[in-house]
Amino acid sequence: MPIYDYKCRKCGARFEELVKVGETPECPRCHDARPERLFTPSAAVSTSTTRERSARVARRAARGVKREKDHADATYRRNYIKEHSEPAAPPPKKRRRS
């Protein structure tokens, strides 16, 4: 069961309530049945360890992307050279001896 923050529409009281899914609590001060549920931002803690880990993950992902791009570029260049180079002259025909 999640804990939500609420604000009463009638008296303006703010309160937290542990509620079941689909339930709406009543205001503890005026007992209004329709309080407004507030957005509760989650707290994110950033430490040097989490920043370093995030940087490592990002560098690893960037390395993989670079490797794929380099491979695609090499394949493109190889195919471009094949398609745009002059065709090789056919080997000379052998003459029959009579």
- For the chain, the domain total comes to 2
Q: What pLDDT digit, counting tens, does each position of 25-78 carry?
A: 999 999 999 999 998 776 667 788 989 999 999 999 999 999 999 999 999 999
- The pTM (predicted TM-score) of the whole model is 0.41
Give domain status of residue 35, yes or no: yes
Give domain status of residue 3, yes or no: yes
- Report the C-alpha gap between 24 and 8 in whole angstroms: 11
Based on the fold, state whether residues 17 and 35 are members of the same structural domain: yes
Residue 98: C-alpha distances to residues 37, 94, 95 (Å): 103, 12, 9
